[in-house]
Structures are given as C-alpha cells and as structure tokens.
Structure 1
Amino acid sequence: MKKLLTLYIALLLISCGGGGGDEPTPPPVENKAPSIPTLTNPTNGLLCISNTVDFTWTSSTDPEGDLINYEIMVAKDPGFSQIVSQKQVQTLTTSVTLEKGVAYYWKIRAIDAKSKASEFTGVWNFLTEGVGVVNYVPFVASLVKPTLNSTVTGTSVVLEWNASDVDVNDILTYDIFFGTTTTPPNIVTSHTSKNYTRTGLLPNTTYYWRIDVKDGKGGKSTGQLWSFKTS
C-alpha cells in the first residue's frame, strides 16, 4: 500500500510539472527605417520668383506601417553649416520665407514613430530672386570625384566637380585651390573645364582642395573644402 501511495504521488508531481516548461519568448521584431522620400519642388537649380518658397516631395513608406514625419533642412551652403530652417511635418509640403537674392540648398529625410530615420535625400539648390538684380552668383560647386575622404592610389588624381548658374548664358570659370593644408593655395586661376588632373602626389599624404566658381560678371561663389588621402 505504501509503495502504491508513493507511485501515485510521483505521477501526480509529473503531471503538474507541465512536461516542458514555458514557451521561449520570440525575439523582438526589428524596426526598419522608412524609404527615402523624393524631392519635387523647387526643382534643382530653379530661380524662385517669390522668396516664400513652397517645398514639396513624394511620400515614403514604412515597413511596419508606422506614422511618418518628414524632416526638412534648408541652408545657405551645401554642407548645411548655415541652416536657416529645420523642421518636421507630417504633410508632403511646407512653406518657408527666405531672404531675397540668396542661393539655398535643401534636403529631406523620413522619420517613423519610433524615431527610426531614413537616409537624407540628395541635396538640391535654388535661388530666390533679388530686388533689381541683373546678375546672380553661381551655385557652390558640388563634388564629383574623388569622393570625400577617400583613398586614391598612384601619383596623380583627376579632380572633378559640377557647377551651375541660373544665368544660363554666363560662362563659368574655376579657381582651383590644392595643397596639404586646410588652407590650400590657389594653383590654377580661371580654369575652363569641370575637371583637372593633378600629378606629383606623395604617398601617405592627405590633400585638401576646393573650387571657387566665377561667372565673368563679378559673381563668385566660394567652394567647400574637400579632402582625400594617398595610399
């Protein structure tokens, strides 16, 4: 009888134990960033008649279906060190009142409800019309190659950039600054093409360069400082 009672208790304990414990907790689902929006207006290189500018862009999508905000940044330089407007909106348009006769640069990114952000769009530029202005300063040159802070091989490099002007008939020329300090000397004045081959590079050296754009009518934009390294 005692053996039967012991066996009964053992079976009862086994049946109460659940046999396998709790189910494992599934890993949390990764929150992914929204897609990158697309800029639509003002178009790249546009001369805006009004200094109250309407910005528009296409919508992003979020993999988890989260609510999306759009962060828009407007600056006086393509590096966005001189930001004049930065805000978040849920709509696909917003207006900003800016100074007249000034070149501006803008970009946007999408941010979901969990603060996960997409990459920024590319940078577009535009110009607000000035009062009585008959000549507009060219836009700041944009880098093509070598890419910023990249490493190049060999003893020569092709420097390449883009530049534009809302005065479409202006003939642009370029002052090239190049050297091993953050204040590189002017090595070429009034260069006529958007590329330049520099030879005689030293190994394991950081080079700095910039392009100033001139329109031949006294208009000039000072470029950003770019750099690359040699292997």
Structure 2
Amino acid sequence: MKKEIRLIASLFSILLLVACGGGDDGPPANSAPTRVTQVTFPTADLLCIDNTINFQWNASSDADGDAITYRVIIATDRDLNNVVENRTTSNTSITITLQQGVAYYWNVTAFDSEGQESEASTTLAFFTSGPGITNYAPFTAAVDEPADESTVSAGTVNLKWVGGDTDVGDTLTYDLYFGLATDPPLETAGLTSDSANVTTTAGNTYFWRVDSIDDSGVKTIGQIWSFDTN
C-alpha cells in the first residue's frame, strides 16, 4: 500500500513539473521597421535639371533596435515593374545617375537586420531634363478611387484619379476607358476633371484606364485597373 502511495505521489510530482514547465513561449516576435512616411527629394512631379540625383527620405525606426537598411526602387512605370535601379543603403539618401529626358517613379522600403520589411513609401513621379526638350509628356495617371482590385457596391461608381505634368502651365485632359473587357473600350474622351461617374451592376469585374493628354497633344497611356461589384 505504501509503495502504491509513493508511486502515485511520484507520478503527481512529474505531472506537476510538466505542467509548470509549459509556459515558455520563446523569444518575442521581431517587429518590422516603421514605414518611410516622407520622401523629401525628388518631390512629386519634379523636373530634375541634373540627371545625377541625390534621393532623400525621412528615417524609419525599429522597435527592437535592429539596424535598418533602405531599398530604393526606381522604375519607368508607376507600378514599378520596369525597374531601372534597385539600390540599398543604411543612410537616408543615395546619389544615382539616370538617363536624361525620362519619366521615372520611385519609392523606399525599410528592412531590418532580421529581414523584416516595412510597407513601401508612397510612389512619386519625377522627370529628368533632356537636351532640346521643350515639352514633356504627362506622367501616368495614378489611381485614387476605387482602389485597384477592390470591391464596391454596384450602381453609380465615381472613378477618381490623379494626373501630373512637369510642364508648368500645361492643362491636362483625360480619355477614360471603362468596361467588362480586360482591354476596356473608350467611355469618355476629353475629360477636363479628374473624376467621372460610371454605371455598374452587381457580380461583375470592371476594368478601367485613364490616358493623359497635355496642351500640345502629347498623350501618356495609362495603366489598367480593376474593381469588383457586389
């Protein structure tokens, strides 16, 4: 009987030790650096006279105290698919030489020594001056509302976008393409505002594009966006 009591007591002690030892959750998860909230140069739609440019931005911070590195992406399209420069630096500036007479788009992403990455900064457009150029093409229009690949209520949908041109005094007009086809047909030409209402029905995916035209008739073809309706 005493042996049985001792055995039960030993088993209870083991179970108690196992239960008490299960509270170790390991080290805390590593946090990503904060997003770069401001890119300070070149600013939006800037015409850069010199094609050797010192890119500058505000510092990110890291709650874990990890070292921060910045990735600068420069491309010739607003979606940053056609990348021409992909640089990293531990500073909040970097000097890069680009081709003359080209519209560029850029942003900055912060990442720490553990590989955790922040959300990218806002993507800004700029233009490098070229010899003999007196008129520059408009920048590609940027989507405002509805966000690309979002879902909205069916009915009348207000499409909004943001245009830009580095030529001071140029007035832009817009051609809006809209429909159910992935290459949407022309909906309205010569819009003078940066928004338009369209009619939709539920359960569809709609595609739209905005081309920008300046006073000289120079046109920049926009990118195709989409949204779903419910």
What's the TM-score, normalizing by structure 2? 0.89
Query: Which structure is larger by alpha-carbon Rg, 1 or 2?
Result: 1
Matched, 1:204 2:207: no
For structure 2, list consecutive stretches of 5 or more residues without a partner in the other structure.
none
Deviation of the 1:203 alpha carbon: 1.9
Cα distance in 2 between the residues matched to 1:103 and 1:142:
14
Deviation string 1:51-107 (CA, Å, 9 cap, x unpaired) is: 111101111111110111001100111101111001211111111111111111100
Pairs aligned (count): 218
For residues 74 and 194 of structure 2, the distance between their equivalents in structure 1, rounded to whole angstroms, comes to: 26
Answering whether residue 43 of structure 2 is matched by residue 60 of structure 1, we say no
Q: Distance in 2 between matches of 1:222 and 1:41?
A: 26
Q: Name 2:214's counterpart in structure 1.
A: 215
1:130 CA drift (Å): 1.2
Correspondence list, 1:145-164, <5 A: 145-164=145-164
Q: What amino acid is aligned across from residue 128 of structure 1 in structure 2?
A: T
C-alpha root-mean-square deviation of aligned residues, in Å? 2.0
User: Counterpart in 2 of 1:121?
Assistant: 121
Please give the alpha-carbon distance, in whole angstroms, between the structure 1 residues aligned to 2:24 and 2:85.
Answer: 45
Letter in 2 for 1:89: T
SS in structure 2 at match of 1:211: strand
Aligned with 1:74: secondary structure? Answer: strand
* Deviation digits for residues 179-215 of structure 1 (CA, Å, limit 9, x no counterpart): 111111112111111111112x222111100000000
Name stretches of at least 5 consecutive residues in structure 1 with no aligned partner.
1-5
| Range with greater deviation from structure 2 (116-125 or 150-159) | 150-159
CA distance in 2, matches of 1:44, 1:193: 20
Partner of 1:3: none
Please state how far the C-alpha of 1:20 moved relative to its aligned partner. Answer: 4.5
Counterpart of 1:229? 228
Measure the CA separation in 1 of the matches of 2:118 and 2:96. Answer: 23
1:26 CA drift (Å): 4.3
Amino acid at match of 2:141: A
SS of corresponding position for 1:174: strand
Matched residue, 2:26: 27
Q: Which residue identity is paired with 1:206?
A: T
1:172 aligns with 2:172: yes
How far 1:156 sits from its partner (Å)? 1.5
SS of the residue 1:73 aligns to: strand
Shift of 1:168: 2.0
The CA distance in 2 between the partners of 1:134 and 1:146, in whole Å, is: 35
CA distance in 1 between counterparts of 2:64 and 2:155 reads 50
Distance in 2 (CA, whole Å) between partners of 1:20 and 1:82 is: 59
Q: Deviations over 1:107-130 (max 9, x none)?
A: 011100000001000111111001
Matches within 5 A, 1:4-83: 20=17, 23=21, 24-37=23-36, 38-83=38-83
When residues 154 and 20 of structure 1 are mapped into structure 2, their CA distance, relative to the original with a 3 A threshold, is closer
TM-score of the superposed pair, with normalisation by structure 1: 0.88
What residue number does 1:92 align with?
92
Distance 1:31 1:75 in 2: 31
Identity %: 38
